[in-house]
Chains A and B, each alone.
Chain A
């Protein structure tokens, strides 16, 4: 299969402390990729490196053949939602979606079309609220951020902890959305989570990080959840 994300000798240190060290990692196009690990395992660091928000100490990441720290050409087909700092607090959800749409060359009508697909997911709490994003609850902010990351037909979608703060109904809906994206639209989707069940359910492949090192790389099967639980029980 054609690979889209290619990690080579990647490491990141702060004042000599290595927080991430991945020698080699390839993610094929259209894969749903799960990243698990305890606090401080390096999940967010990896995503930040992938989005060129921090500079690697050594090595590099290629996104569709483009070294992310050298060119910005990966931006048009890559989108992400990491945390609330990806939201613009003083906009309403609609205004925010249209703003992102503008940046990704997506017309208002196309954005509306996409939003219509997510009516269920929004549960009537996002659109037409006459409320600024900063005044929404954490869970609703997250919903808005996740959907915004799907605007403009991205080929790579990066979601950090998408299940945290969501209510059970929304978690189930989100799982469906992620599966569909990967299967039907051939979108490469990278997800991190603390919830082993969610990850094994939604991802074709689960990678475990521990203190910055890649310790497990599993192709998901029936036995995966057990295996992960055993690993983390130590």
Chain B
């Protein structure tokens, strides 16, 4: 099999991927999003030199950039663990064809080089290198430095696959990252000058680029060997089986008839890759407030604080809820032909979301550090989330007919579930609603009035719970056949 045949297969896979079968509006949005990230990378590449120059005029901006490179390396590794997947599954049909394993594996590994995660650093480092050359740094030495950095980027790429799904390595990387950022922030120990020596040497000494060059070749070879030895259907090609875990969920029985669904959902979340990812994401949402509460700019714009407060407690509620029948898409026909009451089903999902909101609220207690006003706002946000946001999100989910592959992690840019026009329309009240509910009484009366209004909106919503659930139930019934058909479509 020749490279051109491989390329033609790849092209077909690309052309026929679900991306091109989506509506025009989504395509435009996705292209815009990709352009947005690309533009950010390019502008950051151009701007980073001048930012350092302005911030620390007495230092060489280039060596400062080199000092901070270590955070890029660690952050990139962490991000890739989350998002990047080795495309092994596609090689299964190749096993039986008269193709040399060597060429399949080499092609596979080279293919990973063209992932979004390798293109983004290019978009950042090329403009940066040009800026450096324009600023009078030695062009030849900059090219050497660029090659070194590029090799590091690809080393990260291949290292990620060797570590693939090894969560211990991930936690080590993340802890080192958090620890060094923390130590530097509080002025205890700054790691960056030490690692900066190496990145600087790529420019100043030049010959040290041999280190990353050798690393990337070594890691490529290692990946190759790893895949070569596991190139069997019970090896690397096989989807990973998870060890069986059981927990006692009897305590959920207190929720009576809802317990059946609740217990099932807890198992669904803990035993599948995709919902686990959502769980992790919603944990990160807890820290969303830090972005807003630490900035003085937002102190005088409490509307934005209200916005942030919704996300502090609403992470799980939003990310889980927007996919609410989709989570059960793999066995939706069972649910539809079994003796299932939609209302009970919905109520149990709502209860799960509300419980998650309460847990998030308890975990958000440290925000008291930023003052009781902030904490009161988080509490009001939690109330809005439980009483109103939950129902809006569930309604949005009912209109969202995208099947979810439970045990498959979402890939970067393939997570377009929340990305159709109806979803966008539905998310407007989620975002603008709380801001408006807070803003009007805040402007007219006082800060506290805004908080009370937001809290009351949630309580009011809660009193209409039964009505809301019936309304969503009707949507379910109306769209039943469409949903079944959409869920049984293979991706």
Interface residues of A (CB under 8 A from B): 51-55, 75-76, 78-80, 82-83, 85-92, 95, 99-100, 102-105, 130-132, 134-135, 152
CB neighbours (8 Å) of A76 from chain B are: 339
B338 touches A100 (CB 8 A): yes
Q: B243's closest neighbor in chain A, by CB?
A: A130
Give the size category of B's interface with A: 20 to 34
Kindly specify which of B126-134, B307-315, B329-337, B419-427 makes contact with the partner chain.
Answer: B329-337
CB of B484 within 8 A of CB of A135, answer no
Instruction: Say whether B296 faces chain A, with CB atoms less than 8 Å apart.
Output: no
28 pairs from A and B in contact (CB 8 Å cutoff): A51-B336, A51-B337, A53-B333, A53-B337, A55-B481, A75-B338, A75-B340, A76-B339, A79-B338, A85-B331, A85-B334, A85-B488, A86-B331, A86-B333, A87-B331, A88-B264, A89-B330, A90-B272, A90-B406, A91-B264, A92-B244, A99-B260, A103-B260, A103-B339, A103-B340, A130-B244, A131-B244, A134-B407
Q: Which of B244, B260, B339 meets A132, CB within 8 Å? A: B244
Chain B's nearest CB lies how many Å from the CB of A130?
4
A208 to B271, CA, bound (A): 43
Distance from A63 Cβ to chain B, minimum over Cβ atoms (Å): 12
Name the residue of chain B whose CB is nearest to the CB of A105: B339
CB-defined contacts of B333 to chain A, threshold 8 Å = 51, 53, 82-83, 85-86
Q: Is B21 part of the contact surface with A, judged by Cβ < 8 Å?
A: no
Q: A54 with B484: in contact, given A89-B330, A102-B260 (CB under 8 Å)?
A: yes
One digit per residue, 1 when the CB lies within 8 angstroms of any chain A CB and 0 when it does not, for chain B 455-491 equals 0000000000000000000000000010011001000
B272 touches A53 (CB 8 A): no
Given contacts A89-B406, A90-B272, 11 further A-B contacts (CB under 8 A): A53-B336, A55-B481, A75-B337, A78-B337, A83-B333, A85-B330, A85-B331, A90-B268, A95-B267, A103-B340, A130-B244
B12: Cβ under 8 A from any A Cβ: no
Judge whether B58 is part of the interface by a CB distance below 8 angstroms: no
Contacts A131-B244, A135-B241: A87 and B334 contacting too (C-beta < 8 A)?
Answer: yes
Given A103-B260, A132-B242, are A52 and B337 also a contact pair (CB < 8 Å)?
yes
Q: Is the CB of B484 within 8 A of A88?
A: no
Q: What are the residues of chain A within 8 A of B331 when measuring CB–CB?
A: 85-89
A91 to B407, CA, bound (A): 13
- Min Cβ gap A44→B in Å is 11
> Nearest chain-A residue to B341 (Cβ)?
A72
B336 touches A132 (CB 8 A): no
Chain A residues, CB < 8 A from B268: 90
Least Cβ–Cβ distance between B105 and chain A, in angstroms: 27
Task: List the B residue with the shortest CB-CB distance to A102.
Answer: B260
Q: Would A89 and B407 count as touching, CB distance under 8 A?
A: yes
Q: Mark B238-281, 1 if CB is under 8 A from A, else 0.
A: 00011010100000000000001000100110011000000000
**What is the chain A residue whose CB lies nearest that of B482?**
A55
Closest residue on chain B to residue A91 by CB atoms:
B267
Closest to B484 in A: A53
Q: Give the 5 A-B residue pairs with the shortest CB-CB distance, closest first.
A: A102-B260, A130-B244, A90-B271, A86-B334, A51-B337
Interface of chain B residues 105 through 122 with chain A (CB within 8 A) = none
Using Cβ atoms and an 8 Å threshold, which residues of chain A touch B338? 75, 79, 100, 103-104
**Chain B hits for A92, CB < 8 A:** 244, 246
Out of B337, B407, B481, B485, name the residue touching A80 (CB < 8 Å): B337
> In the complex, A134 Cα to B337 Cα: how many Å?
20
Closest to A47 in B: B337
Chain A residues with Cβ under 8 A from B271's Cβ?
90, 132
The distance in angstroms between the C-alpha atoms of A54 and B333, with both chains bound, is 10
User: In the complex, what residues of B have CB within 8 A of residue A86's CB?
Assistant: 331, 333-334, 337
Cβ-defined contact, A99 with B339, below 8 A: no
Q: Which residue of A lies closest to B269 (CB)?
A: A90
Please give me the residue from chain A that is nearest to B333 by CB atom: A85
- The residue in chain A whose Cβ has the minimal distance to the Cβ of B270 is A90
Bound CA span A132–B273, Å: 14
Chain A, Cβ-Cβ closest to B257: A102
* CB neighbours of A55 from chain B (8 A): 481
Q: Return chain B residues, CB-CB under 8 Å to A99.
A: 260, 264
CA distance A87 to B334 in the complex (A): 7
| Closest chain A CB from B476 CB (angstroms) | 12
The minimal Cβ–Cβ distance linking B474 to chain A, given in whole angstroms, is 14
- Measured in the bound complex, the distance between the Cα atoms of B271 and A95 in whole Å is 13
Among residues 311 to 370 in chain B, which have CB atoms less than 8 Å away from a CB atom of chain A?
Answer: 330-334, 336-340
- Cβ contacts under 8 Å, A90 to chain B: 267-268, 271-272, 406-407
- Among A102, A135, A152: residue with most chain B CB under 10 A: A102
Nearest A-chain residue to B260, judged by Cβ: A102
Alpha-carbon separation in the docked complex, A217 to B97 (Å): 46
Closest approach, in angstroms, between the C-beta of A148 and any C-beta of chain B?
9
A147 to B407, CA, bound (A): 25
Q: How far is the CA of A100 from the CA of B331 in the complex (A)?
A: 13
- Tell me the smallest distance from the CB of B451 to a CB of chain A, in Å: 41
Question: Could you say which of B242, B332, B334 has the most chain A C-beta atoms within 10 Å of its C-beta?
Answer: B334
A134 to B330, CA, bound (A): 11
Report the Cα distance A79→B340, complex, angstroms: 12
Q: Write the chain B residue with the least CB distance to A92.
A: B244
User: A209 to B340, alpha carbons, bound, how many Å?
Assistant: 32
- Most B CB contacts (10 A, CB to CB) among A75, A90, A105 go to A90
- Separation of A88 and B332 alpha carbons in the complex (Å): 9
CA distance A76 to B338 in the complex (A): 8
Q: What A residues does B485 contact at CB under 8 A? A: 54
Please, which residue of chain B has its CB at the minimum distance from the CB of A82?
B333
Compute how far the CA of A89 lies from the CA of B264 in the bound complex, rounded to whole angstroms: 11
Q: How far is the CA of A89 from the CA of B271 in the complex (A)?
A: 10
Alpha-carbon distance A103/B338, docked complex (angstroms): 7
> Are A52 and B244 in touch, CB under 8 angstroms?
no
